[in-house]
Amino acid sequence: PYLRSGKYTMKPRKSIFNIIVGDAKFEVEFAEFLDAAIDVKSFFKNDIQLKYSIDYIKEDGSIGRYHPDFYLTLNNGDRWVVETKGAEEVNAQRKIQRLKVWCEDATLSQGVKWDCLYVRQENWNKLKNFPNSFDEIIKIFEVSKIKETQ
């Protein structure tokens, strides 16, 4: 990732945009992974300017607006929404639970499979052998999610 004006950037090949900008270095590192993954057809890094948001109920009961980090399409046509997270915040699990419901609803209404994945930076940094496909990441982070809840 390149650092420009306090933001990390990269020039992707598989994104619908010609530059990826992230608030955190981890977001851009994940974008680089998606760009190199053999089973990712296309992706984009979401941000507040794109207005792709999901409403959810915050811990305090108020309505919040959540902007998931990445939307991607795999070569097999499946669609994924990925949330990357450095530090865990109070509402993180509420956002992810709402995102799961959003994916179920999108799958039913569009007839295209949508799913989501939550990638925490601390778990990403523990990877010893860096995968070359998104499918491998799904397997790794589904297993880590199970271990965290036990």
pTM, two decimal places: 0.87
Of the candidates 113, 114, 123, 137, which has an alpha carbon nearest to the alpha carbon of residue 38? Answer: 137
* Three-state DSSP class for residue 113: coil
CA distance 116 to 102: 9
Cβ atoms within 10 A of the Cβ of 122, count?
A: 11
Tokens, residue 57: 């109920």
pLDDT of the chain along its 150 residues, tens only? 666 667 889 999 999 889 998 878 899 999 999 999 999 999 999 977 777 899 999 999 999 999 999 999 999 999 999 999 887 788 988 999 999 999 999 999 999 999 999 999 998 999 888 789 999 999 888 754 434 433
Of the candidates 55, 64, 117, which has an alpha carbon nearest to the alpha carbon of residue 90? Answer: 64
